[in-house]
Structure 1
Amino acid sequence: MPALDLPAELVPTDWLADHLGDPGLVIVDASVLGVESATGFHWLSGLDEYLVDGHVPGAVFADLLEEFSDPDGPFSFTRPDATRLERVAHELGIDDEVAVVVYDTGLGQWAARLWWVLRSAGVARVALLDGGLRRWKADGRELETGYEAPRTPRQLTLSPDETLWADREEVRAVVEGRAHAALVCASPESDFRGETGRRPRRGHIPGSVSVPLAAVVDRDRGTLRRGAHFTARARVVPPSGDGGRIVVYCGAGIAAAATAFALRQAGETDVAVYDGSLDEWAADPEAPLVSLV
């Protein structure tokens, strides 16, 4: 089977519509829902929404809560190890011979997270659907409901790229001046200032600048921001040298993936997501946080 060539890491709905049914394409819905209840805030799988409300025709569903995260990890959405990731990606029908397009029903942060997980694992042909299901529906595209069985995959060969991830020790080294990188917080601006947040310790990591999800996504269209608006916001990122490193974090490494992806699209070549993000950093009473309130 000939491999399907993706035009870029970000594809529009018309490109996807033209390639529906291509045997060399796997379309993945990566939606997760945030729900407030009497017991507090919690995450829910987007599977029911996928089954009942509809999805892109032919799309399979990826469970970021249970499958594409480490169930034994210390924090929500801890990335899975290579063995688990190879298994769950293979179960979705992903192999060396397909291209993958990922979307979600939100603002693209969940799709970006799965994109980052797959790309860092060595899945070379993977793209985001610009605007996700929201843009797909706004463009008048058809939907399907019910379960879509994954294709039968062949061999999947992974070659992880750990440079796409940062850990607490790297971030600590940056904060202490022992390593050089720009730190970018993708949390909402009120979280960055320390006004809001779900953790007992609020604020941002010292030396960080704020480039939240709202600066990355056009909320009216759901698509990734381009041109002067995003460029102006991205200029707050301190120069880290020609091709210098940028480490992006948020609460749990989800919005961070969207901002990191946008920075890649803006031409940055060394961007990493801090996987533990503030869930890990703020849990350490010795790790410094800056509050502006």
Structure 2
Amino acid sequence: MYTTLISASDLALHTERSNWVVLDCRHDLMDTNVGQAAYDLGHIPGAQFVNLDQRLSAAKIGPDGVFRGRHPLPEKGDFIASLRNLGVNDDSQVVVYDAHGGMFAARLWWMLRWVGHATVAVLDGGLPAWQAAELPLTTVVPALGSGNLSNRPALVGSVEVSQVLANISNPTRTVVDARAADRFRGENETMDPVGGHIPGAKNRFFKDNLQADGRFKPAAQLREEWMAVVSDASQAIMQCGSGVTACHNLLALEVAGMHGAALYPGSWSEWCSDASRPVER
């Protein structure tokens, strides 16, 4: 049972097992067609493609007309229906991957845990690790399945913008921002037209969880580094630009054995959409 990371060599032993589901999450925030195009050119045998915008996000504007961020979470029922369509069952071992060190795959990993599915792992090192091991790719698109995944109690927590706002005046939880340092400081207008960060937040760039080869750092090293940021993960809130790369930090914490951190799904894109919310730079 794999619940955090899986190596390319271990995945290669199981790609033909009927209860294993492999999902390709490749994406580009600046060109949303890149993931599908890359999948079409070659993917891990048996893998289905999952689009971040179409399957892992909901409409940016909620039913109340309020902007919810660039990648708000879908309704759980809609997400579960999408997973069933990909052949995910309650007993499935799901493996998710991208080509970006887990930048997008971690979002799907977190979301599966959000609907109570524990047996999901990110391919450590992603597609580059698979290719470095000289394992095969294919252009064959498998038929969609008909899974029986049910909605079980969540294995992860999340917070709303109101809770993050309340934490500023009564700081009982540590907010950690997964964006790059220039974005955290408010110096990247291309990615963040409104620059800065939530007051009191700390910065831990998600790529700091990785080694030079794109694989995650060893658990002991991650724990040592993360302890310098949050002493109690159960009192931490992870956020980023739009609730995607924050999940990478949540995965790193799990690998490190530091459990209980929550996701702020709306993240900076939701926070900065209301000028009444305070900003630090």
TM-score normalised by the chain length of structure 2: 0.91
Q: Note the alpha carbon deviations across 1:238-270, whole angstroms, 9 max, x for none.
A: 434xx6321011101111010111012112211
Give the counterpart of 2:109 among 100, 111, 115: 115
* Aligned counterpart for 2:124 among listed residues 123, 130, 142: 130
Equivalent of 1:216 in 197, 205, 209: 209
Q: Which residue of 1 aligns with 2:20?
A: 25
Cα 1:201–1:162 shift into 2, 3 Å: farther
Distance 1:173 1:264 in 2: 26
Shift of 1:71: 3.0
* Deviation string, structure 1 residues 86-107 (Cα, Å, up to 9, x no partner): 1101111101131101111222
Change over 3 Å in CA distance of 1:269–1:64 after alignment to 2: same
What's the offset of the Cα at 1:122? Answer: 1.2
CA–CA separation in structure 2 for the residues paired with 1:159 and 1:190: 39
**TM norm structure 1:** 0.87
Of 91, 97, 105 in structure 2, the residue corresponding to residue 97 of structure 1 is 91
Q: Which runs of 5+ in 2 are unaligned?
A: 62-66
Contact (CA 8 Å) 1:186, 1:213: kept in 2 or not?
yes
Structure 1 or 2: more strand by fraction: 1
Q: What is aligned with 1:259?
A: 249
Identity level (%): 30
Aligned to 1:180: 172
* 8 A Cα contact 2:3 2:118, kept in partner: no
Alpha-carbon RMSD across the aligned residues, in angstroms, is: 1.9
Gap change, CA 1:205 and 1:187, over 3 Å in 2: same
1:65 aligns with 2:56: no
**Superposition pairs of residues 199-214 of structure 1, within 5 angstroms:** 199-214=192-207
The residue that corresponds to 1:165 in the other structure is 158
Task: Say if 2:76 is the partner of 1:87.
Answer: no
Q: Distance in 2 between matches of 1:244 and 1:9?
A: 18
State the AA in 2 paired with 1:237. Answer: V
SS at the partner of 1:101?
strand
Query: CA distance change for structure 1 residues 133 and 34 in 2, over 3 Å: closer, same or farther?
Result: same
Task: Number of aligned residue pairs: give it.
Answer: 274
Partner of 1:271: 261
The 3 A distance-change label for structure 1 pair 193 and 119 is same
**CA distance in structure 1 between the aligned counterparts of 2:258 and 2:220, rounded to whole angstroms:** 16
The alpha carbon displacement at 1:72 in A equals 5.3
For residues 18-43 of structure 1, the C-alpha deviation after alignment (integer angstroms, 9 at most, x for no partner) is: 111001100010111133xxxxxx53
Change (3 A) 1:111 1:14: same
Does residue 280 of structure 2 align to residue 290 of structure 1?
A: yes
